[in-house]
Amino acid sequence: MTAEPIRSALGSVSMDDTSLVLPSDKKQRTGEQRVLEQVKSIKRSKSKMVKSDSIPSPTTPASATEFSEPKFQFSPTNLNGTLFKYSGSSMMTTQSRVSGRSLSVHNTVRRQSQNSQWDSQMNWNVQSQSNGMKSSGSDPALSKTGAANTQKTKEMSSTVRYNRATARSMKLDNSTMINASRSQTVKKITKSKSEASGANGATGAIPDITLQEAVEYLTHSDVSYQLCGASFIQHQTFKEDTAKQEVWRIGGIPALVQLLKSDNSQLQQTAAAALRNVVFKENEIKLEVESCEGLEAILTLLRNTNVTETQKQLTGLLWNLSSADALKPELIRNALPMLTESIVVPFNFWTDSNTNKHIDPEVFYNTTGCLRNLSCASEKERISMRNCTRLIDSLMTYVQTQVERGESDDKSVENCVCILHNLSYQLEKEAPEHFTQFSIPDGSPNENMNKNSLFSPRSTKTQKFSFPAMEEGEPEGVKWLYHRKSLQLYLTLLGSSQKEAILEACCGALQNLTASKSPLSTVMSQSIIQKQQGLSVISPLLNSANSGLQKTAMSLVGNMSRVTSLRSTMAKEVLPKVSSVLLAVTPKMVESDSSIATACRVMHTLMLADPESGKKVLNSKLIDSLSLLSTNVLYETARKAAAVLLWSMWGQKDIQNVLKKQGMNKDTFINDVTATAYKAATIMKGY
Cα R_g (the chain), whole angstroms: 28
401-423 pLDDT tens trace: 999 999 999 999 999 999 999 99
C-alpha to C-alpha distances, 624 to 580, 629, 630, nearest whole angstrom: 13, 8, 10
The least confident of 111-115, 377-381, 676-680 is 111-115
Range 295-303 average pLDDT: 98
Confidence at residue 468, expressed as pLDDT on a 0 to 100 scale = 74
Name 133's Cβ contacts closer than 8 Å, sequence gap at least 6: 22, 23, 24, 65, 67, 91, 93, 94, 97, 98, 99, 100, 140, 372, 414, 418, 501
- What is the C-alpha separation between 369 and 119, in angstroms, rounded? 38
Report pLDDT for 168: 30
Whether the per-residue pLDDT at 577 is higher than 50: the answer is: yes
Q: How far apart are CA 142 and CA 129, in angstroms?
A: 7
pTM for this structure?
0.74
> Is the pLDDT assigned to residue 21 strictly greater than 50?
no
How many Cβ atoms are within 10 Å of 87's Cβ, its own excluded?
27
**For residue 680, what pLDDT is reported?**
87
Residue 361 CA to residue 92 CA, distance in Å, equals 17
389-402 pLDDT, tens digit per residue, is 999 999 999 999 99
Cα–Cα distance, 343 to 48 (Å, whole number): 31
> By the 8 A CB rule, do 99 and 320 touch?
no
Q: How far apart are CA 339 and CA 298, in angstroms?
A: 12
**Average pLDDT for residues 243-259, to the nearest whole number?**
97
- 442's CB contacts (< 8 A; 6+ apart) are none
Q: Closest by alpha carbon to 555, among 597, 503, 586?
A: 597
Question: Strand 192-197 relative to strand 203-207: parallel, antiparallel, unpaired?
Answer: antiparallel
Lowest mean pLDDT among 101-115, 431-445, 449-463: 101-115
Beta bridge partners of 138: 67
pLDDT value at position 68? 32
Spatial CB neighbours of 49, under 8 Å, sequence gap ≥ 6: 179, 180
What are 34-85's pLDDT values in tens digits? 444 433 433 333 333 223 332 222 232 233 334 332 222 222 222 223 222 2
Output the pLDDT for position 354: 57
Distance CA 62, CA 362 (A): 6
Mean pLDDT of the chain: 74
Return the beta strands (E) in 180-289 as ranges.
192-197, 203-207
